[in-house]
Every structure is written in structure tokens, then in C-alpha cells.
């Protein structure tokens, strides 16, 4: 209506030639779909793939938000392919695949008929490498001559109850996976299973289980208890090039111009998440906030979203799930943070996301701490596709080269946390982040035990511990004192020992306490032999002798 209004747009740009990969990811733990905030999905991915680091992420496909559309609830509407693992291949609207191959054709869109006619059985060796692949001709049905079948239970679309599956071998050889890494029955004709064969005798398949039955002798010869297998559909045709995929609803930019796809969700103003591609193969991800017009976050129609993606150089662009799902996170100062303003006022739990992640180089690093200095040594073991010519560490804003020599950062404050980040220079001399970062503290001042103050009363000993611990490096306020072989808690430096329990003479005394100077908690046990403590009997004898000496001196001088 020729009106001007403010928008908040966050954009991620992923060059075609980069070590970073675009990874479609979902929370599929426990053989089901679990809605999870994007930030938590990124953290879970890093837990499962410790040699990878997430740089940024956005929400991805539309999904079963109310858990009512499928027998197995909360699925995405379209496929989820993660680093070559085809967890879901059935399509409700459209597929969006990423090749991550550095070409100019890195983003491939597809319709509904995109998968292979048969499921594919992969067989792994002891090094977790695929050594053979075969067609799976039958699903939950006995294989014919020369055929292979997969069996699995699945969820009823109406009741959402799990339906266990009886395995019909019918003369075939059976191989059963009782505790799969993942057995995901999206529906009766869309399954992903991976795990080690644990049994040969038939049984009813429950959740987390599947089976392979074969009358193909070549297949049977490779299978046995202990062998790892995978059963999945894969993509055919042009989409066979992709290693990660999600889904979309509405292509709104084509040839750098708005394209009216007739999708109803693009005919209203909403928060949006979009993915586009430039002519050079670079990927652009954008999140446009909405439903918050009073604070300059109006949201956009499809044609307005096309104008935004065109502004950032895209020739094609696709509409992902929007509204309250629209979320973008980035890594900032070592932490994953949300940079947009989700319209729900909080992070929504989504079914999947698109991660921008990089496999980290392998670096052997060592830190040596002192009260006023940190010494860093580092050695590059494997670059993992990073063009690393020189290795650096940025420590508290000071950049030093590491590798051949140690880097010493001195003049630091005691018991203070400092942020560090490794960087490198590439062949072009450009300084780049490695995303290997963290925080480290200088040491605390060690505690000093000053004295034990011991009071003897007729029924008990009372011990007071005096110490100096300016940096609270110890737990001397909850130390344990052992008297004559029996231990008692000294709370706030004081403890009482009944003579009926511990004895009337102090024969041995020691103290046990925890110390952490910021280099890991340690237990300290200190005997108090150096104090030359006298027993009460010895002290009494000395007093008697001293009393007699005093009397003798007095008599002489009188």
C-alpha cells in the first residue's frame, strides 16, 4: 500500500568454497522425534560429533507441531538427511538438498518422487566403513528368491500406538538387531535402521529393533552376529548428489525475480526463514522478524521476502517454516546465542534445523597456569581441510604465534578468568578464526595453615584451626580432623572430640581438606607431627617438674 515500515533482518552467508558445511539436523534420540529449540539442537549435534563446531544455525522445515499428523508424532513434513544418513525420505511438499561440494550448484530442490525405488542395505567393516551395498526388495514381507527384506514395527496412524512386527522368514536367513543405534519408523513405508546384528533366531520386533531377512547368498555371506548394517531409502536423480536435506514450502525467487508459487503461507505478513543461492553457489540464510511491528519487526509477504533475498544477491530462494519457529543463532565469544527476536517471546521447540558447522582441525594444546601468567603450547596434528599456514592464539586481546615456541602471557591478575581463541593465517595471509576457544583461569594463592589451638577439658578436647585462604582456594571451612585414627568434621575450623571416643591422650593428629587452585580439585592430607604436640600426660608431668623447680629456687634465695 505504498507504506514504509521497519524490518529486522539477520543474514548468514556461506561461501561455496569453505570448510563449513550446511547440515540438516533433528533430535531423533530414543527412536522418535523430539521438538527441541534450535540452540539445543546445535549443542546436541556437538555432543554427538565432538570434532565438529557449530558456527550458526536457523530453523528449517515445517513440522507436525501438535503431534497429530502421523503415527509417530512431531515429524518434519519432508525429508531429513544428515551427512548421508537418510532418516526420513517421504515428502509432503518439497525437498531442499545441499551438496556441500564447493560447486556453483550447491542447492538442489525436488518434488515428491525423489527417492530410490528400493531401500538400500549397507554393510560395514570393523573400521565403520561401508564395504558393500544391496537393494532391499521387500518391506515387512518375506523375501523372494535372491531378494532381501527389512522388518520393523511402526506406529498406527490413527491410534499412534506402536505395532510390534512378527518376522516371516519363509526359508530366508534372518539377522536381528535387538538394540539399534537408531530404528526410526516414520510410517509403514519410510524407515531408517542402523545397528549391529545380535541374534539369528526370530522374535517379535519391539521399539528400537529391526531385522534383515535374505535369500541372497551374497548378502548372507557378509552378515553375521556383530556385523553393523544400515537400512535406508536414498535419493535418486539429481538429488543423489546431496548429503544433507530438509524441506520447504514455496519457491518465491527465481531468476532473481519474485515468483508467485501460489502457496497460501506467502500471502500474509509473518516472520520468515528463507534459504537462497547466489550464481556462484554461495548459500544465503535469512531470518526476518515479525508480529512485533511496534518495535520495528513487521514481518513480510512473499514478494517482500523476494526483494530482501535479491538484495543479498540470490538468484533463487525458498521459504522454510516461519512464524514463531523463525530462529537464528550464531557463535559469539564461544557461546551460541539467539540473534533474532522470536515472535513467541522465547525460543520455540522445532523439529529440525539447518546448521552451519565445520569439522575442527586437530590441535594438541597445553596450558600451564601460574598466579600471574599463562603459558600456551600448541601443535597442529591435522588441518582437516583448513588452509593453516601459521597458528596463533588470541589471549585476552593479545595475538601471539604458537607452534615452534611457547607463548607466555604474563602480568595477569591472580584468580582471574581469561578468554582465548585459536586463529590461523591461510595461504593468502588472511587471519581466520578456528572456533577452537575457551576460558582459563590464573591460579589462586594457596591456603596456609597457621596454627592448631587445642583446649583440653575433663571430658573432651576442643580444636580450633587457624588458616589464611584469601582466594577461597580450599574447603578448610569443612576440613576433616583425624585424632588418634578417628575422623571428625571441623565445621568453620572447629571440632570437639570426646575422650570416651577418641582417647584421653593425643597420640596422632592430621587434617584432610580439598584444595582447587583453578587447576583441578585435589585432596590434601597433612599430619601435624611438625607441631611436636605433647600429650596431656606429658604436659602434666612437665608442670609438676616446673612446680618443684620453682619451689627449690624460692627456698635457696630465701
pLDDT confidence of residue 526: 83
Domain-embedded: residue 82: yes
Are residue 15 and residue 97 in the same domain, yes or no?
yes
Domain-embedded: residue 36: yes
List, for residues 67-124, the tens digit of each pLDDT value: 999 999 999 999 999 999 999 999 999 999 999 999 999 999 998 889 999 999 999 9
pLDDT confidence of residue 516: 97
Question: Range of 222's domain?
Answer: 119-232
How far is the CA of 488 from the CAs of 473, 493, 498, 533, in angstroms?
21, 11, 11, 19
pTM equals 0.83
CA 119 to chain CA mean position, Å: 30
Domain-embedded: residue 551: no
Longest dimension (CA), the chain: 127
Are residue 410 and residue 511 in the same domain, yes or no?
no
Are residue 347 and residue 248 in the same domain, yes or no?
yes
Are residue 331 and residue 376 in the same domain, yes or no?
no
pLDDT confidence of residue 452: 87
Are residue 355 and residue 368 in the same domain, yes or no?
no
The segments of the chain whose pLDDT lies below 50 read 530-532
pLDDT confidence of residue 243: 98
Of 411, 441, 471, the domain-final residue: 441
CATH number of the domain where residue 395 is located: 2.60.40.10
Are residue 107 and residue 219 in the same domain, yes or no?
no
Q: What are the strands of the beta sheet with 362-369, ordered from one edge?
A: 362-369, 374-382, 407-409
pLDDT confidence of residue 333: 81
Annotate 271-334 with three-state secondary structure: CEEEEEECCCCCEEEEEECCCEHHHCECCECHHHHHHHHHHCCCCEEEECCCHHHCCEEEEECC
pLDDT confidence of residue 125: 98
List, for residues 366-402, the tens digit of each pLDDT value: 999 999 999 999 999 999 999 999 999 999 999 999 9
Are residue 428 and residue 452 in the same domain, yes or no?
no
Of 359, 380, 414, the domain-final residue: 359
Are residue 355 and residue 375 in the same domain, yes or no?
no
DSSP string, 182-194: EEEEEETTEEEEE
Residue whose entry in the numeric block shows the C-alpha cell 582465548: 420
Domain-embedded: residue 15: yes
- Give me 115's grid cell: 527417492
Q: What are the strands of the beta sheet with 80-82, ordered from one edge?
A: 85-88, 80-82, 244-248, 94-98, 107-110
Are residue 199 and residue 90 in the same domain, yes or no?
no
Nearest to 60 by CA among 88, 32, 30, 101: 88
Are residue 335 and residue 285 in the same domain, yes or no?
yes
Domain-embedded: residue 18: yes
Are residue 257 and residue 272 in the same domain, yes or no?
yes
Instruction: Work out the mean pLDDT of the chain and round it to a whole number.
Output: 94
Nearest to 535 by CA among 481, 451, 464, 454: 454
pLDDT confidence of residue 538: 56
**Gap between the Cα atoms of 7 and 5, Å rounded:** 7
Domain count, the chain: 4
pLDDT confidence of residue 531: 46
CATH number of the domain where residue 477 is located: 2.60.40
pLDDT confidence of residue 334: 83
Of 210, 232, 254, the domain-final residue: 232
Are residue 344 and residue 379 in the same domain, yes or no?
no
- Give me 505's grid cell: 591422650
Tell how strand 509-515 and strand 244-248 pair up.
unpaired
Amino acid at each position: 500500500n505504498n507504506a514504509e515500515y521497519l524490518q529486522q533482518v539477520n543474514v548468514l552467508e556461506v561461501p561455496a568454497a569453505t570448510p563449513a558445511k550446511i547440515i540438516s539436523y533433528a533430535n531423533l534420540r530414543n527412536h522418535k522425534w523430539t521438538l527441541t529449540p534450535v540452540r539445543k539442537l546445535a549443542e546436541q549435534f556437538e555432543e554427538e560429533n565432538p570434532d565438529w563446531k557449530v558456527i550458526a544455525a536457523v530453523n528449517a522445515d515445517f513440522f507436525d507441531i501438535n503431534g497429530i499428523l502421523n503415527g509417530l508424532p512431531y515429524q518434519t513434513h519432508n525429508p531429513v538427511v544428515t551427512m548421508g544418513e537418510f532418516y526420513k525420505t517421504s515428502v509432503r511438499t518439497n525437498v531442499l538438498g545441499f551438496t556441500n561440494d564447493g560447486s556453483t550448484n550447491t542447492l538442489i530442490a525436488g518434488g515428491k518422487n525423489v527417492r530410490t525405488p528400493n531401500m538400500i542395505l549397507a554393510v560395514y567393516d570393523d573400521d565403520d566403513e561401508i564395504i558393500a551395498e544391496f537393494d532391499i526388495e521387500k518391506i515387512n514381507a518375506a523375501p523372494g528368491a535372491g531378494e532381501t527384506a527389512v522388518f520393523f514395527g511402526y506406529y498406527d496412524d490413527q491410534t499412534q500406538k506402536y505395532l510390534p512386527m512378527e518376522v516371516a522368514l519363509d526359508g530366508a536367513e534372518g539377522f536381528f538387531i535387538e538394540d539399534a543405534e537408531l530404528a526410526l519408523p516414520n510410517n509403514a513405508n519410510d524407515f531408517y535402521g542402523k545397528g549391529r546384528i545380535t541374534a539369528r533366531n526370530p522374535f517379535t520386533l519391539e521399539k528400537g529393533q529391526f531385522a534383515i531377512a535374505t535369500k541372497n547368498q551374497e548378502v548372507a555371506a557378509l552378515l553375521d552376529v556383530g556385523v553393523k548394517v544400515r537400512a535406508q531409502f536414498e535419493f535418486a536423480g539429481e538429488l543423489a548428489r546431496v548429503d544433507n536435506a530438509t524441506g520447504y514450502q514455496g519457491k518465491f525467487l527465481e531468476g532473481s525475480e519474485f515468483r508467485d508459487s501460489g502457496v497460501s503461507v506467502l500471502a500474509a505478513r509473518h516472520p520468515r526463514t528463507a534459504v537462497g543461492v547466489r550464481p556462484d553457489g554461495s548459500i544465503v540464510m535469512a531470518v526476518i522478524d515479525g508480529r512485533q511491528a511496534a518495535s520495528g519487526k513487521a514481518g513480510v509477504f512473499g514478494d517482500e521476502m523476494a526483494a530482501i533475498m535479491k538484495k543479498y544477491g540470490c538468484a533463487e530462494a525458498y521459504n522454510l517454516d516461519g512464524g514463531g519457529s523463525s530462529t537464528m543463532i550464531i557463535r559469539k565469544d564461544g557461546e551460541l546465542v539467539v540473534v533474532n527476536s522470536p515472535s513467541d517471546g522465547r525460543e520455540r521447540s522445532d523439529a529440525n534445523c539447518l546448521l552451519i558447522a565445520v569439522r575442527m582441525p586437530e590441535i594438541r594444546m597445553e596450558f600451564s597456569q601460574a598466579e600471574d601468567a599463562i603459558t600456551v603450547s600448541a601443535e597442529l596434528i591435522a588441518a582437516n581441510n583448513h588452509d593453516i599456514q601459521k597458528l596463533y592464539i588470541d589471549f585476552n586481546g593479545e595475538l601471539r604465534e604458537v607452534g615452534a615456541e611457547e607463548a607466555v602471557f604474563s602480568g595477569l591478575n591472580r584468580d582471574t578468568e581469561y578468554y582465548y581463541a585459536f586463529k590461523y593465517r591461510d595461504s593468502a595471509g588472511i587471519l581466520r578464526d578456528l572456533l577452537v576457544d575457551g576460558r582459563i583461569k590464573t591460579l589462586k594463592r594457596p591456603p596456609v595453615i597457621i596454627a592448631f589451638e587445642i583446649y583440653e577439658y575433663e571430658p573432651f578436647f576442643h580444636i580450633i584451626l587457624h588458616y589464611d585462604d584469601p582466594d577461597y582456594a580450599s574447603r578448610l571451612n569443612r576440613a576433616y580432623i583425624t585424632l588418634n585414627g578417628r575422623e571428625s568434621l571441623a565445621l568453620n575450623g572447629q571440632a570437639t572430640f570426646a575422650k570416651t571416643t577418641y582417647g584421653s591422650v593425643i597420640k596422632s593428629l592430621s587434617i584432610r581438606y580439598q584444595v582447587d587452585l583453578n587447576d583441578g580439585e585435589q585432596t590434601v592430607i597433612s599430619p601435624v607431627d611438625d607441631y611436636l604436640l605433647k600429650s596431656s600426660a606429658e604436659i602434666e608431668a612437665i608442670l609438676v617438674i616446673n612446680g618443684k623447680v620453682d619451689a627449690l629456687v624460692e627456698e635457696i634465695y630465701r
